[in-house]
Amino acid sequence: MENSEARDSSQCVRVAVNIRPLITSELLIGCTDCITVVPGEPQVQIGSHAFTYDYVYGSTASPSTAIYDDCVAPLVEALVHGYNATVLAYGQTGSGKTYTMGTNYSGEGSNSGIIPKVMDNIFRRVETMKDSTEFLIRVSFIEIFKEEVFDLLDANSTNLNKGESASVLKPVTRVPIQIRETVNGGITLAGVTEPEVRSKEEMASFLSRGSLSRATGSTNMNSQSSRSHAIFTITMEQKKIARCQNGVTTDDVGDDILCAKLHLVDLAGSERAKRTGADGLRFKEGIHINKGLLALGNVISALGDEKKRKEGGHVPYRDSKQAEDSITWKKSIFWAMWMTYGVVSVHYSLHDSLGGNSKTVMIACVSPADTNAEETLNTLKYANRARNIQNRAVINRDPMAAQMQRMRSQIEQLQAELLFYRNDSGAPFDELQILKHKVTLLEASNQELQRELQERRLTCQHLTQRALDAQVEKDKLVMKIESARNGKSWDEIESDSNQDVDLLKNYVSKIQELEGELLRVKSTHNSKRSRNADSVDTDDDGFRSKNGLFPSLNEFSADCDSKVEDISDEIEDEEKELEHSSLQEKLDRELKELDKKLEQKEAEMKRFTGADTSVLKQHYEKKVLELEQEKKILQKEIEELRHNLSNISSAPGDSAQKLKEEYLQKLNILEAQVAELKKKQDAQAQLLRQKQKSDEAAKRLQDEIQRIKSQKVHLQQKIKQESEQFRMWKASREKEVLQLKKEGRRNEYEMHKLLALNQRQKMVLQRKTEEASMATKRLKELLESRKASSRETSGAGNGNGLGIQALMQAIEHELEVTVRVHEVRSEYERQMEERARMANEVARLKEESEQANLSNCPEMMSPGARSSRIFALENMLAATSSTLVSMASQLSEAEERERVFSGRGRWNQVRALTEAKNIMNYLFNLASSSRCSLRDKEVECREKAAEIRDLKEKVVRISSLARQLESQKGELIHQLKLQRFS
Ligand SMILES: Nc1ncnc2c1ncn2[C@@H]1O[C@H](COP(=O)(O)OP(=O)(O)OP(=O)(O)O)[C@@H](O)[C@H]1O
pLDDT for the residue 915: 63
Distances (CA, A) of 236 to 71, 160, 287, 346, 388: 20, 29, 36, 20, 28
Distance 35 CA to ligand 1 centre (A): 17
Q: Which amino acids are annotated as binding site for ATP, given as ranges?
A: 91-98
Q: What is the DSSP string of 647-700?
A: HHHHS-SHHHHHHHHHHHHHHHHHHHHHHHHHHHHHHHHHHHHHHHHHHHHHHH
- Ligand 1 pocket test target in 22, 112, 222 with most atoms within 8 Å of CB: 222
Q: What mean pLDDT is predicted for residues 544-554?
A: 36
| CA of 124 relative to ligand 1 center, distance in Å | 29
Q: How far is the CA of 624 from the centre of ligand 1 (A)?
A: 113
Range in 349-353, 380-384, 484-488 the model is least confident about: 349-353
Ligand 1 atom nearest to CA at 225: 26
How much is the mean pLDDT over the chain? 72
CA-219 nearest atom, ligand 1: 26
Helix 399-421 to helix 427-485 angle (10° resolution) is: 100
Which of 149-158, 182-191, 521-530, 763-772 has maximum average pLDDT? 149-158
What is the distance in A from the centroid of ligand 1 to the CA of 22?
10
**All residues at 6 or more sequence positions from 31 whose CB lies less than 8 Å from its CB, including other chains:** 22, 369, 370, 371, 372, 839
- Its pTM stands at 0.50
Highest-scoring range by mean pLDDT, 43-52, 424-433, 806-815: 43-52
Helix (H) or strand (E) holding 884: helix 863-902
Whole-number Å distance, alpha carbon 96 to ligand 1 midpoint, is 3
Instruction: Indicate the DSSP class of residue 91.
Output: E
Q: How many angstroms separate the alpha carbon of residue 93 from the centre of ligand 1?
A: 8
The pLDDT value given to residue 274: 59
Nearest CA, atom 1, ligand 1: 20
The answer to whether the CB of 217 falls within 8 A of the CB of 279 is: no
pLDDT, tens digit (0-9, with 9 covering 90-100), for 373-415: 888 998 898 888 777 776 666 677 666 666 666 777 777 777 7
- The band of 195, judged by pLDDT with boundaries at 50, 70 and 90, is very high
Q: Whose CA is nearest to atom 16 of ligand 1?
A: 96
SS3 state of residue 597: helix
DSSP character for 477? H
**Structural domain boundaries in the chain:** 2-398, 930-982
Q: Is the pLDDT of residue 167 over 60?
A: no
Q: How far is the CA of 99 from the centre of ligand 1 (A)?
A: 5
* CB hemisphere CA count around 869 (13 angstroms): 17
Strand partners, 225: 217
Report how far ligand 1's centroid is from the alpha carbon of 159 (Å). Answer: 24
Which residues are part of a known binding site?
91-98
The most confident of the ranges 649-658, 750-759, 945-954 is 945-954
Res. 969: pLDDT tops 60 = yes
State the pLDDT at residue 52: 92
**How far apart (Å, rounded) are the C-alpha atoms in residues 215 and 231?**
13
What's the pLDDT at 139?
Answer: 94
Element (H, E) at 11: strand 10-12
The average pLDDT across 666-693 equals 82
Residue 190 has pLDDT above 50, yes or no: yes
Which homologous superfamily is 2-398 in? Kinesin motor domain (3.40.850.10)
Q: Which residues have CB under 6 Å of ligand 1?
A: 20-21, 23, 64, 91, 93-99, 222, 224-226, 268-269, 365
Mean pLDDT of 671-685: 83
55: pLDDT confidence band, cut at 50, 70 and 90? very high
Question: Best substitution site from 64, 92, 93, 99 to test ligand 1's pocket, by max atoms within 8 Å of Cβ?
Answer: 99
pLDDT at residue 73 in the model? 94
Please give the number of the atom of ligand 1 that sits closest to the Cα of 365.
21
Tell me, in angstroms, the distance from the centre of ligand 1 to residue 956's CA. 75
Q: Which of 25-34, 279-288, 338-347, 775-784 has the highest mean pLDDT?
A: 25-34
> What is the number of the ligand 1 atom nearest to the C-alpha of 18?
1
Neighbours of 254 (CB within 10 A): 16
Residue 973 has pLDDT above 80, yes or no: yes
Instruction: Check whether 326 has a pLDDT greater than 50.
Output: no
